[in-house]
């Protein structure tokens, strides 16, 4: 486990367990968003349920965020900002490659601030691009 992972867990009031260390380490070495299935592939034989709860916990504590990409599968990526318990500050766009299926965070592009229709209030705005990534182009 990297020092970084240990520090991240500690700073988010999370106990250091094997599963959490392994999962977080994997996120730290990957630039693209990971689905639960991706994680299972990379981690080998791990308990599906524990992994599911680990991801939920990480998301609740602001360690990772859901990467909306228009597919029906949930994917997660590391938060780059100081997100905390129940608070996320990730406003970047996500890019989904229709060829390789990878989903990556595009920090350089922020979701636009748009005026909602009358009577509506907006708490988050997401921008999702689909197409071909640099690897597949």
101 vs 72: CA distance, rounded Å:
12
Among the listed residues 3, 29, 44, 72, the single contact to DNA using CB under 7 A: 72
Give, in order, the Cα–Cα distances in Å from 88 to each of 11, 64, 119, 123, 132.
15, 9, 24, 11, 28
Nearest distance, CB of residue 61 and DNA, angstroms: 9
- Is position 86 an interface residue for its own copies (rule: CB under 8 A)? no
The one of its own copies, DNA, none whose footprint includes residue 60, by CB under 5 to 8 A per kind, is none
Q: Any residues with CB less than 8 A from the CB of 88 and at least 6 apart, and which?
A: 62, 65, 79
Asked if residues 68 and 79 have their Cβ atoms less than 8 Å apart, the reply is no
CA 11 to chain centre: 18
Q: Residue 52 or residue 122: which is nearer to DNA going by CB?
A: 52
Region binding DNA by CB under 7 A among candidate stretches 25-33, 68-76, 109-117, 129-137: 68-76
The one of DNA, its own copies, none whose footprint includes residue 29, by CB under 5 to 8 A per kind, is none
Q: Residue 7 or residue 73: which is nearer to its own copies going by CB?
A: 73
């Amino acid at each position: 486990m990297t020092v970084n992972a240990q520090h991240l867990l500690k700073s988010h009031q999370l106990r250091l367990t094997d599963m959490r260390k392994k999962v977080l380490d994997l996120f730290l070495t990957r630039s693209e968003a990971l689905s639960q299935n991706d994680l299972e592939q990379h981690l080998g034989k791990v308990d599906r349920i524990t992994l599911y709860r680990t991801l939920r916990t990480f998301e609740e504590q602001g360690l990772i965020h859901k990467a909306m990409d228009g597919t029906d599968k949930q994917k997660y990526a590391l938060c780059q900002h100081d997100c905390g318990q129940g608070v996320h500050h990730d406003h970047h766009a996500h890019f989904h490659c229709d060829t390789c299926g990878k989903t990556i965070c595009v920090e350089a592009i922020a979701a636009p601030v748009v005026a909602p229709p009358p009577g509506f209030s907006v708490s988050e705005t997401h921008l999702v691009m689909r197409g071909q990534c640099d690897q597949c182009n």
